[in-house]
Amino acid sequence: MVHGWPKIKNIKKTAGFFKKIGFKPGSFWGMVVALVEFVGGMFLILGFFTQVISLLIFIQFLIILITVKKASQFKGEVEFDLLILAAAAILITIGAGMYSLDHFLGLLLY
């Protein structure tokens, strides 16, 4: 949520950044990423649609590692991104815990 809110607040800047790095249309991809990060983060806190949101986050961070971070060539700048990727993979496979909305509403996909 922390990284998504600034993107939502300044969507023009976000759109410009995405266009600059080659994701066109920048306004579409900027909004998608902002919503995945902000709304997805909120849903993960609540344990709501955990596996679906985790899949979106996994895809997002896979793309970040392949495209945006490729210039760093894995020289100490990607550990946090790899950690988020791994956490998303775990949540995709095991789903939310027993104190989640997914569990309460019976939304577990496994």
Confidence (pTM): 0.87
- If asked whether residues 40 and 72 sit together in one domain, one would say no
Residue 52, burial from CB neighbour count under 10 angstroms (0-12, 13-18, 19+)? middle
Alpha-carbon span 92 to 99, nearest angstrom:
17
**Which residue ranges of the chain lie beneath pLDDT 70?**
69-76, 109-110
- If asked whether residues 110 and 76 sit together in one domain, one would say yes
Give, as one character, the DSSP assignment of residue 67: I
- If asked whether residues 40 and 55 sit together in one domain, one would say no
CB atoms within 10 A of CB 13: 12
The pLDDT value recorded for residue 46 is 95
**Domain enclosing residue 25, as ranges:** 1-46
- If asked whether residues 108 and 54 sit together in one domain, one would say yes
The pLDDT value recorded for residue 59 is 96
Give, as one character, the DSSP assignment of residue 72: G
- If asked whether residues 37 and 55 sit together in one domain, one would say no
Q: Note if the bond before 25 is cis, omega within 30 degrees.
A: yes
